[in-house]
Amino acid sequence: MSEAVAVFDVGKSSAKLALVDRASGAVTAIRTTPNRTVGHGPYPHFDTEALWRWLIANLAEFGRQARIEVISTTTHGACIALTAGDDLALPIIDYEFAGPDEVSDEYRKLRGDFRETFSPDLPGGLNVGRQLFWMERRFADRFAKTDAILPYPQYWGWRLSGVKAAEPTCLGAHSDLWAPKAGTFSRLAEERGWAKLFPDFVRPWDTIGAIRPALARETGLPPDCRIVAGIHDSNASLLPHLLAEPLPLTVVSTGTWIITLAPGGALDALDPARDCLAYIDAFARPVPAAMWMGGRDFEALTAGVAAMPGEAEVARVVKDGIMILPALGESGPYRGRSGG
């Protein structure tokens, strides 16, 4: 049986599990499922239990096709897990929920200056710091039971291995919790006592542990299957280019969010009012970036269209200079202005 790596990719709109042949690097199988939000409960939150059941079932299926040696996870940003023992202290909030805006006036007095965090002030739960501050205010008793704060990739790593770890790429995704130039937690994270709740930092490719024995038996995966820490999704897209190309360079990562990353570029010209920020790459270095919800705009523009455009249609639109200007949604450099 061939050796393989399983990659669990949790995007905002959908999740995928890919089986990658270790020898050739080819994707030999892939499964996809919607990433649903649960509307009931204390607030809208990601249906992590449904995703977990789906993941385990598909790992078992893939395990019959190849010997899975490693499982790695990549996820969207603006997502954090608060654990209490072997469970969650609170559900994992959907960052599009507007509830955290209730505390924005107070929170803005506490959050760091842009030149410290390179994290723009974003609505809803798009700043993880605002999520934490809101949950701390609204659900004080449950928040107080938190024994660890895990970035989203490491939440899944913990579910798979039983080991809690952290790495900085998700903290670099407009969280307000990281100071990119210093390479440390932000003043906000330290003063609120959140920094001490994060486990020890590792690198995205570090093994945090073996698969839980009960999961190995349930899925049929080898008991020595390694679980690696995982990484923020845009940084997963960036990493191969960092390994292959000299700096400076530009990489565009697409999905629900379209992220333009410019490793090797300068941070000082970034404008927070235009959704510019600094990400943190896999080597814990700051990366100038800009973001907008282009995938969501595309979904809105193509609603009801059964067939996606082919190369000829795309070429015609480019040739004719057809554009939706300046924007549709409330993200990106032209947020707050109507498109047309």
- The string of pLDDT tens digits covering residues 24-53 is 999 999 999 999 999 999 999 999 999 999
Q: Residue 297: its pLDDT value, please?
A: 74
Euclidean distance between CA atoms 229 and 168, whole angstroms: 11
Q: Residue 255: its pLDDT value, please?
A: 82
Place of tokens 């928040």: 143
For 3-232, CATH gives: 3.30.420.40
Euclidean distance between CA atoms 8 and 306, whole angstroms: 28
Which residue spans of the chain are classified as CATH 3.30.420.40? Answer: 3-232
pLDDT tens digits along 94-138: 999 999 999 999 999 999 999 999 999 999 999 999 999 999 999
Euclidean distance between CA atoms 284 and 279, whole angstroms: 9
Q: Residue 323: its pLDDT value, please?
A: 76
Strands, E assignment, the chain: 3-10, 14-21, 27-34, 37-38, 45-46, 67-75, 80-84, 87-90, 148-151, 178-179, 184-185, 207-210, 226-228, 231-232, 251-253, 258-261, 276-280, 286-292
SS3 16: strand
* Chain mean position to CA 91: 16
Q: Residue 44: its pLDDT value, please?
A: 98
Task: Write the DSSP string, 142-177.
Answer: HHHT--EEEEHHHHHHHHHHS---B-TTTTTTT-SS
Q: Residue 296: its pLDDT value, please?
A: 74
Pairing mode, strands 178-179 and 184-185 = antiparallel
* Partners of 287 in the β-ladder: 279
The ranges of the chain with pLDDT < 50 are none
Residues 6 or more apart in contact with residue 270 via CB below 8 angstroms: 114, 118, 276, 277, 278, 288
Euclidean distance between CA atoms 137 and 118, whole angstroms: 25
Both tokens assigned to 56 = 């385990």
CA distances from 236 to 11, 208, 251, 308 (A): 12, 18, 11, 26
Please give the model's pTM, rounded to 2 decimal places. 0.91
SS3 327: coil
Q: Residue 254: its pLDDT value, please?
A: 85
SS3 131: helix
Q: Residue 313: its pLDDT value, please?
A: 87
Euclidean distance between CA atoms 114 and 181, whole angstroms: 12
Q: Residue 329: its pLDDT value, please?
A: 61
